[in-house]
Amino acid sequence: MSIVRILARHTICEALRDRTEVGNNVFNSLINGVKLDGQGNLNIGEGQKKPFISVFTDMSETKAVSMNNMREPGLTDIVIEWGYAEGMAAVNEDGETFIMQGLAVTDDAIEFTLDIIAHQIIAALNADTVWAERWKQVRSGGIKAMRRFRYADQTDNTRLAVQQLRLDCRLMDDPMPGEPLPYPIEAILSDMDLSQDLNIQAHATLIRNALTGTITDWQAVQRRFGMSRDQLLALGRGPLAGDDERATPPLQSGVLARDNGPDETIEPDPQD
Amino acid sequence: MSLANHIRDQVVAANDTVWGETLQLLPLTDGRKSSERPARTFSGVLRSQTVETNNMTAGGTDFLSKVASAGSVLRIDRARYADLVIKAQDKIRAVSQPGAPLYIVQHVDDRRHDRLVVHLGDA
């Protein structure tokens, strides 16, 4: 369930980039505190003096008859936060700060701007764009709940306001290692390969490493259902009992000996 | 003026002459340049606080974004600047410090007889 969380964050970030009032100030899992230095420059991104958006994947919960395989992402909390702290807008020599075109910063101008950004976020995620489409595929199980919160204060030695959107999303299942990548994962990884951000290129490589490899049929069954060796063997799959090397070769041919009839030669089922 | 007030003003003036720095007041009304209070420079004692990183909801955990800010406290000799009017949301620039950092006035404590105490946020 971890790979699709990565893809959820990435597709949302790309779907929002340059489509809201924050421009390129869209961040994936911003952990560091946003800080304004003595020259008035922000410590995030390229220091654009604009509000910011940060995208997180938070807790998830899955309830099913069996969760043995631990692969289903269940309902995952996608958290999108956007906010303004003093300094996240251009200031002129008179000390006037403009948060949007023609809009001087006041308390209600901050709230206004954050509501406009909220509108732009929803519009961008619903837009008919490549990245919005990929996000919709990653959350193909549907959005089951949506909660919005806001907070504003000046007790942190600056004036700030922040809003949050929490989406309970049923994300697609994580791909099985060794199996063909389901749509749209290959397309997302191919774009990540071409990113200007070297870390995103590294993400693509590391995800491919995690998902590629050779896997036998019985290993695929074992992983898909989270089976123990005994459970697998009880279904007639996997190595023979006692084969600690897990090297039992596939059945080539065998003889079924009957007490009350002629012996029968067994050939493996080509579909098996 | 009583003797006590005279001594007080002398002490404050002597201290602030040593420790004060040049500051620029940028008065704003509803976020725009004030038409009634012109920008002016003055001297005051500015003491920055330690930068702290806090959750944007002031220590709550419902929000995940954080902000790092310090803020400052500015003390102004009331006897010297009896006509100085500073209001919340005005900006103050510490012009003699590296980078000339900008602050926003969060609130003004004018219930003191010796100094005007101005609480500033990073801006």
pLDDT tens track for A220-270: 899 888 999 999 999 989 999 889 999 988 778 889 899 999 999 988 776
Overall average pLDDT of the A184-210 stretch: 95
Do the Cβ atoms of A132 and A125 come closer than 8 Å? yes
Which residue of B62, B98, B122 is in closest CB contact with A86? Answer: B122
The tens digit of pLDDT for each residue in B52-88 reads: 888 888 666 688 888 888 899 999 999 999 999 999 9
Across the interface, whether the CB atoms of B33 and A96 are under 8 A apart is answered: yes
Tokens of A93: 């020599």
Helix axes A107-126, A130-138, angle to 10 degrees: 80
| φ, ψ of residue A57 in degrees (nearest 5) | -110, 125
Mean model confidence pLDDT for chain A: 91
Q: What pLDDT, on the 0 to 100 scale, is given for residue B60?
A: 64
3-state SS class at B109: strand
The tens digit of pLDDT for each residue in A148-175 reads: 999 998 876 889 999 999 999 999 988 8
Tokens of A211: 């998902």
The tens digit of pLDDT for each residue in A205-226 reads: 999 999 988 888 899 899 888 9
Overall average pLDDT of the A15-21 stretch: 98
On chain B, the residues whose CB falls within 8 A of the CB of A37 are 99
pTM: 0.88
Across the interface, whether the CB atoms of A35 and B89 are under 8 A apart is answered: no
> What's the rounded Cα separation, in Å, for the pair B79 and B113?
9
Residue found by looking up tokens 């299942």 in the block? A173
Across the interface, whether the CB atoms of B67 and A85 are under 8 A apart is answered: yes
**Is residue B50 over pLDDT 80?**
yes
Tokens of A161: 């306001």
Do the Cβ atoms of A71 and A173 come closer than 8 Å? yes
Cα–Cα separations (whole angstroms), residue B106 to A35, A52, A79, B73, B92: 18, 23, 30, 10, 11
- How many CB pairs below 8 Å do chains A and B form together? 131
Strand order in the sheet with A75-85: A26-28, A52-61, A75-85, A160-170, A143-153
**Is residue A26 over pLDDT 90?**
yes
Across the interface, whether the CB atoms of A36 and B122 are under 8 A apart is answered: yes
**CB neighbourhood size of A184 (10 A):** 21
Do the Cβ atoms of B68 and B77 come closer than 8 Å? no
**Is residue A146 over pLDDT 70?**
yes
Interface test with B, best of A42, A56, A110, A156 (most B CBs within 10 A): A156
Across the interface, whether the CB atoms of A95 and B102 are under 8 A apart is answered: yes
On chain A, the residues whose CB falls within 8 A of the CB of B38 are none
B96 touches chain A (CB under 8 A): no
